[in-house]
Structures are given as C-alpha cells and as structure tokens.
Amino acid sequence: MMIDFLERASGKQRSRMAAVDQFSFLFQGLNRNLRAVEEVLAIIGLLYVSKSAFALTWKVLQGFRTHVLARARRLDLNKYGKWAVVTGGTDGIGKAYARELARRGLNIIIISRSKEKLDKTAKEIEDEFKVQTFVIQADFSKGREIYEDIERQLKDKEIGILINNVGCMYEYPQCFMNVPEQKLWDLININIASVTMMTYIVIPQMIQRKKGIIVNMSSISSFNPLPLMAVYSASKVYVDWFSRALSYEYKDEGVIVQSLVPSYIATSLVRFSSLLQRPSFLVPDPERFVRSAICTLGVADRTTGFWSHGLQYWMYELTPISLWYRISWFMQKSIDNHDRQDKDKHT
C-alpha cells in the first residue's frame, strides 16, 4: 500500500512538474514572440521618425533654397521674350509685378478695365524705367466676349512672361447663400476663366520659341476648404491644380508654369478688413511680396512666394482638417468683427 501511495504521489509530482515545465516553455515562447514584435515596432517607429525628420529637413532646405539662396542668383528675365503681360496690373500685386518686371528691363503690357488707371500706370512705368508699355482695356467679369479682342492685340508681341494676377474676392466673409449672384459669376469669370483663357492665348508662342514663364495667382486658401469664403477658396483650388498640371505638361517645352499660393497681402482685395490692410511680416505690402516672389521663378513651380507665408503653409499641413474648419471659421469671423468694430469707432 505504502509503495503504491508513494508511486502515485511521485506520479502527481511529475505531472505537476511537467505542467510547470510546459507553462515555462509557453511563457518563454510568448516572451520571444513579444520581443520579436517589439523589435518590429521599434523598427517601424524608427522608420517613421526618420521619415518625419527627413521630411522636416527637406522642407527647411527647400524653404532656405527658395526664399534665401534664390535671392543671391542673377535672374535674367529678358531671355524669355521682350514683353511681359500683367492682368489686373493697375493696382496691388499686379502693379507691383508690372513695375518690378519693368525695372528688370522688360516692356510691359497691362490689361485692366479702367482706361484712366491704365494710362496713368503706363506713363509712370515709361517715365521711371524707360521701357515701352502697351495697354489693353478689358473687363474680365464679362467672360468669353473679351478674349477675341485681347488675342488680336497680343498677336504680334513676343511675350516672354504672363502674370495671371487679376482676381476678386468676397466683399467680406459670409455664408454662401448671402453672396450676391453677380459676385459668384465674377469669381468664376475673373478668378477661373481669365487664368484659363489668357494662358490659352499666350502659351502657343512660348511653346514655339521653347521658352516662357506663366505665373498664376492662386492662394493659400486653396490648401483646405475655407468656410465663409467657399467660392473664392474653390476658385483658387482650380488655379493651383491647373497650374501644377500645366507645369508637368510643358516642362520639357521650356515653359515654366508657377502656382503662387500666398497668404494675405495688404491690397485693396482685402479692403473688408482694416487689420489685413496694415503691412506686417505676416501681411506684406505688394512691393515687398513681389520682390520676394519674383526671385522664386525657375526655382519653385509652386510656392507661397514669401517666407512667412511659407511658415503658415507648413503650420496648415500639421493641422487636422476638423481643427482647420474651426480655426478658419474663427479667423474669418474675427477679421470681419474687427473690421466692423473699427467702422463703428469712426462713425
């Protein structure tokens, strides 16, 4: 009996030891698997951090190249052609482009709707920079009917540079249904149709000569949908995507197509806000912006044109879309409210 009892006890002990050994082996196996998973996750994490670090470094280098090094090079714009065309060239950014290009020795063609402003601006440029000027009176809000006459007047001109600058914006930030119908048509005809048709008129001769520059004025508002500026924002998306597609289509034809995506600039376009009409390092005046943007030609096919706007764009890239909607809504409301408060003080 005692022998049987001892044998049974010994068997149970061996069973318990076997169970312990099995658990130990299982634990060791799980531990090895967990370590393998940890190593894989560590590699993934390292790759992600490396990718993020590389992307950040690349953006910094690109920004330095675009906004700093580009200023040091000698930029000869006369080699592209004798004439530069600037739409909306009697005010703001357009006038600043016309003057800067004239300063660099190009003859200037200005297209705008006010004959009085056209003649005045042309005379100023001729007197100051001793170049030829040519003016075309055209109201881009009229749509298709104006382009046949523009094409006829540009026919014999060797156009090296086209600045598609003309544009319009809301009178002030507002919801879509509150925007007057005429303003909606103006946004389509001026912001979208003008860029398309002016490019259509000018680009054939550039391709024929295998050289030319087209600058299309988009906006940083094209980065994401912009509440209270819905149609304006959407029109600038068109300009940006159109420009980027053409840049690829004609890069082997010697034609540079640049999409400019600046933030706010102190012009009459933002007359709805006295805050935005005050030049600062965030909101440059047109002359300062153009001097910066023109240096990026041939360096960046898509750029904000100004260093602080580049920082703003980078911040937008890091902003989740849900947060973007809230911030942009608050910003547009704040701009509008600030302006209304200023008006109340002066009444």
Phi first, then psi, for residue 3 (nearest 5°) are: -65, -45
Q: Which helix (H) or strand (E) holds 109?
A: strand 107-112
Q: Tokens 């023109």, residue?
A: 294
Other residues' Cβ atoms within 10 Å of the Cβ of residue 219? 26
**Which of 217, 201, 299 shows the shortest CA–CA distance to 256?**
299
Tokens of 158: 């060797």
**Which of 104, 99, 103 shows the shortest CA–CA distance to 86?**
99
**CA pair distance 148, 153, nearest whole angstrom:** 9
- The CA-based dihedral angle spanning residues 154, 291, 194, 248, taken in that order and rounded to the nearest 10 degrees: 90
Q: How open is the CA angle 279-285-287, to the nearest 5 degrees?
A: 155
Active site residues: 232
**Which of 60, 88, 79, 58 shows the shortest CA–CA distance to 215?**
88
**CA pair distance 45, 35, nearest whole angstrom:** 15
Identity of residue 273 = S
Cβ-in-10-Å burial (0-12, 13-18, 19+) of 129 comes to buried
Distances (CA, A) of 53 to 3, 48, 180, 320, 338: 73, 8, 47, 19, 39
**Which of 143, 95, 139 shows the shortest CA–CA distance to 114?**
139
**CA pair distance 243, 64, nearest whole angstrom:** 23
Q: Tokens 């904000």, residue?
A: 304
